[in-house]
Amino acid sequence: MIRFILCVSALFALLHALPAHADDTVFDAPDGKAETLVIGSVTDLEHIEPLIQEFQRTNPTTEVVYRQMTSLDLYGAAAEACEERRFFADAVISSAIPEQVRLVNDGCSEPFRFALPPDLPDWASWRNELVGLTFEPAVIVYDREGLEPDEVPRNRFELVDLLRQTERFRGRIGTYDIESSGVGYIFAFEDAAQASTWGRLLESLGQNRAQLFCCSSDVIDGVRTGRLVLGYNVLGSYALARQQEDPRIGIIFPSDYTLALSRAALVSRHARNKRAANALIALALSDKGQELFSGPSRLFSSMSGPEMLGRIDTGDGPSAEAAAFRPIGLSPALLVGLDQAKRKAFLDQWRKSFRAGGGE
């Protein structure tokens, strides 16, 4: 199978409209192209490629265009295309679940043409138009060469205490830039609603001049190279996959609670290949799809994720089995955090904390 990155001019020739900041990868149809499936997603290619390859095994005449964007760019492109009633992608898959709910709420999706699995949790679907494919915890990552074993924080209370050593950690803590990352924003918004430590933690991040990143992978890279000692609210799926390659990365499932989100998928109302989009999502929810997600990608399944995570020993404790998972459900309640007034107030608090501490 040949995979290559299309240049901008070729994409315009192929699809006539390239969204800003898109990175398109084409998977040639193994038996010759008869149709095309376009996937708009935020997922790093290496994590979803096994699913695409399995899809093409049973759909060998389908070319797949994988359009990867940041979460807010993806939402903006999908929402704009929906409003203008034009094509953007056949399937949209994103970890920025409030934005996915909004797309459904705004009539940008259509009902699935297959039956959802009977063991799918209630929190992992909405209106038969949005479904959670994965189970991904928000974890703390740290540099095992930068912290002694007895210093490793097991929960947010211990993390706040550790970060009082500002001279030691200033500029060496990483987390999401919640102004540019949809998943980072929802994790922070949920923290503010659920954690009694939120105010103190936010203050600590500001005082330590925490470095802000668009993506989990960038935070993990910072920890892996020693530029960062610790990363907060990183996607556990990416962290676990990277830990297999580099044991320097330590992973903590916070014992006070561990948020978990489910990367959500929908079929676009203006899709050109609705058959293939439905087939891809159905595959992701099948036994085979769950097996793929629980493999090296470490995305895990919305159905078997907690059980599978409980079998993993990261060597850092507390284990995922003991973690108090709190899945973020797919529902209109997520739209509260996208309310313009609430979002502005929340981001103002975020900026104020970082300005007060001299954070970047």
pLDDT at site 200: 93
Q: DSSP character for 149?
A: G
> What pLDDT is stored for residue 318 in this prediction?
55
* 225 and 337 both lie in a single domain: yes
- pLDDT band (50, 70, 90) for residue 196: confident
Q: Residue 353 has what pLDDT?
A: 84
The whole-number pLDDT of residue 337 equals: 86
Residues 45 and 160 in one domain: no
pLDDT of amino acid 356:
61
Q: For the chain, where are the alpha helices, taking DSSP H only?
A: 8-15, 45-58, 71-83, 97-105, 156-162, 166-169, 182-194, 198-207, 216-225, 236-243, 274-285, 287-293, 305-309, 340-357
Kindly state the average pLDDT of the residues 224-248: 93
Q: What is the pLDDT of residues 285-310, one digit of tens each?
A: 999 999 998 887 788 899 888 888 87
**Looking at the domain assignment, is residue 306 inside a domain?**
no
Q: Express as a percent the part of the chain with pLDDT over 70.
A: 91
Same domain, 223 and 344: yes
- CATH number, domain at 56? 3.40.190.10
pLDDT greater at residue 358 or residue 155: 155
Q: Is the pLDDT of residue 129 over 60?
A: yes
| The pLDDT of residue 1 | 46
pLDDT of residue 2: 42
Q: Is the pLDDT of residue 313 over 60?
A: yes
Residue 265 half-sphere exposure, CB side, CA atoms within 13 Å? 22
Question: What pLDDT score was predicted for residue 323?
Answer: 64
Token pair 């797919």 is at which residue? Answer: 330
Instruction: Tell me the pLDDT tens digit for each residue of 211-224.
Output: 999 889 999 999 99
Residue 178 CA: distances (Å) to CA of 88, 213, 214, 350:
25, 9, 8, 9
On whether residue 305 sits in a domain, the answer given is no
Look at the chain and count its residues: 360
Do 30 and 107 share a domain, yes or no? yes
Residue 140 falls inside a structural domain: yes
User: For residue 115, what pLDDT is reported?
Assistant: 96
User: What pLDDT does 21 receive?
Assistant: 60
Local confidence band at 357 (pLDDT 50, 70, 90 cut-offs): low
Q: What is the residue-averaged pLDDT of the chain?
A: 89
> Which is higher by pLDDT, 11 or 200?
200
pLDDT, residue 354, reads 79
Is residue 207 assigned to a domain?
yes
Tell me, yes or no, whether 59 and 185 share the same domain: no
Indicate the burial class of 148 (C-beta count within 10 angstroms; 0-12, 13-18, 19 or more).
exposed
Query: How many domains does the chain contain in total?
Result: 2
| 35, 93: one domain | yes
Q: Are 30 and 60 in contact (CB under 8 A)?
A: yes
Statement: residue 7 has pLDDT above 90: no
Residues 87, 56 within the same domain? yes
Statement to judge: residues 207 and 346 lie in one domain: yes
pLDDT of res. 297: 77
Last residue of one domain, picked from the residues 250, 273, 298: 298
Q: What is the pTM of this model?
A: 0.86
> Are 172 and 116 part of one and the same domain?
no
The pLDDT of residue 161 is above 70: yes
145, 117: one domain: no
Which residue has better confidence, 331 or 310? 331
Which residue, 268, 233, 232, 262, is CA-closest to 94?
262
- Shared domain for 147 and 247, answered yes or no, is yes
| pLDDT band at residue 17 using 50, 70 and 90 as cut-offs | very low
Does residue 349 lie within any of the structural domains? yes
Confidence of residue 69 (pLDDT cuts 50, 70, 90): very high
* Residue-range definition of the domain harbouring residue 294: 3-134+262-298
| Domain-located, residue 319 | no
pLDDT band at 11 (very low <50, low <70, confident <90, very high): very low
Q: 235 pairs with which residues across the strands? A: 138
Flag whether 160 is in a domain: yes
Are residues 345 and 221 located together in one domain of the fold?
yes
Q: Which of 250, 283, 298 is the last residue of a domain?
A: 298
309 domain-assigned: no
pLDDT of residue 322: 55
Cis peptide before 30 (omega within 30 of 0): no
